[in-house]
Amino acid sequence: METTLWGTFLRGGWIMWPLLIFSIVSWTIIFERIVFFLTFRPKLKNLADSLSQSVRAGDLAAARQICHSQRPELSELFLGAIDNKRPRELSERTVERSRLRLMGYLKKNLWILGTIGSASPFVGLLGTVVGIIRAFHDMAEKGAGGFTVVAAGISEALIATGAGLIVAIVALLTYNIFINAANQTLSGMKLTLDELLDLSHDKSVTQA
């Protein structure tokens, strides 16, 4: 009997194929989100620092120039915060809407990870049931019991269960890590935006 990874995969039965698809989708999202957070968060911090310096100096024109050079979702977010030509309440509502859109951007596709993490154990359990059914079918067909008769079915059941748990563990761990990273980013952004709103609507700030 093959002891290679591929041989083990095949012994897990047909249920291994949906689990393989789940795994590929999970790792695709994981790598994309890792690259995203490693590049986006430092860029966001640098942008916030640059805007704070410009607004503190009373140079709203320079702050707007910085905003216009950014991605649309960031440009809209920060422009709303430094727009002191409108009442503060209106600016706050604009910023909040932009912040909600940014939340969707930060949590993009994470619902898929959560779904895979929740569903994979049940898919593995289905493989377990299929394997046990096969084991009993082999017993009935051969009219005898014993480990050699049920080994194939039991092996299929255990492999499917293990695979489902592995996929679920990876998906749920990374889902929680990314959700935490997104929430921390949003919390930091709220503090920064509140500060920009205070600075830009302060009477001491020179109108640009």
Per residue in 77-126, pLDDT (tens digit) is: 788 777 777 777 787 888 888 888 888 888 999 999 999 999 999 988 88
| Distance of alpha carbon 195 from the chain centroid | 28
pLDDT at residue 111 in the model: 94
Report, as an integer, the average pLDDT of 54-59.
Answer: 78
Asked if residue 39 has pLDDT above 80, the reply is: yes
Report, as an integer, the average pLDDT of 128-153.
Answer: 65
Residue 94 burial by Cβ neighbours in a 10 Å radius (0-12, 13-18, 19+): middle
- Backbone dihedral angles phi then psi of residue 74, each to the nearest 5 degrees: -80, -40
Q: Grade residue 22 by pLDDT with cuts at 50, 70 and 90.
A: very high
Are residues 123 and 22 in contact, defined by beta-carbon separation less than 8 angstroms? Answer: yes
Q: Grade residue 66 by pLDDT with cuts at 50, 70 and 90.
A: confident
134 vs 208, residue with greater confidence = 134
Q: Which residue has the tokens 């980013």?
A: 185
- Rounded distance, CA 7 to CA 4, Å? 5
What amino acid occupies position 123? Answer: V
| Distance of alpha carbon 180 from the chain centroid | 9
Are residues 134 and 153 in contact, defined by beta-carbon separation less than 8 angstroms? Answer: yes
**Percent of the chain topping pLDDT 70:** 83
Domain ranges of the chain: 5-200
